[in-house]
Amino acid sequence: MLPQWSAAGPVAYVEAEYFGGVGEQRAAVWTDGALAVGPLDAPAKKWFSRAVSPISQALRQLGVRSSLGEDEFEAVGLDRHRNNDDWISPSTS
């Protein structure tokens, strides 16, 4: 579906799994029906800087720009919730 959707504009798939500060990220971007970035994979045992993380690279490809002291993940608010249930029904507080 993502290649088809990207005909209307770039589309990204991003995945993050963390527990206790250790985890992994995966990302890919499709543009005009073709894979443009990735698939990118940063396994749990490999350290990477926030600037080159798979998710930050994918978000930059979508045009996201971060401010000083934050990465693209934070710039779009992906750091707001820590688990899937919070995304489904975020608290209003």
Q: Summarize pLDDT for 53-82 with one digit per residue, the tens.
A: 898 899 999 999 988 888 888 888 887 776
Flag whether 88 is in a domain: no
What is the pLDDT averaged over residues 28-38? 94
Per the domain annotation, does 89 fall within a domain? Answer: no
Residue 87 located in a structural domain:
no
Report yes or no on 86 lying in a domain.
no
Considering the domain boundaries, does residue 49 fall inside one?
Answer: yes
Residue 23 belongs to some domain of the structure? yes
Mean pLDDT of 10-35: 87
Tell me if residue 29 falls in helix, strand or coil: strand
In a domain, 77, yes or no: yes
Question: With bands split at pLDDT 50, 70 and 90, how would you rate the model's confidence at 27?
Answer: very high
pLDDT of residue 53: 83
Residue-number span of the structural domain to which 8 is assigned: 2-81
With bands split at pLDDT 50, 70 and 90, how would you rate the model's confidence at 28?
A: very high
Q: How are beta strands 34-42 and 22-31 bridged, if at all?
A: antiparallel
91 lies in some domain: no
| Structural domain total, the chain | 1
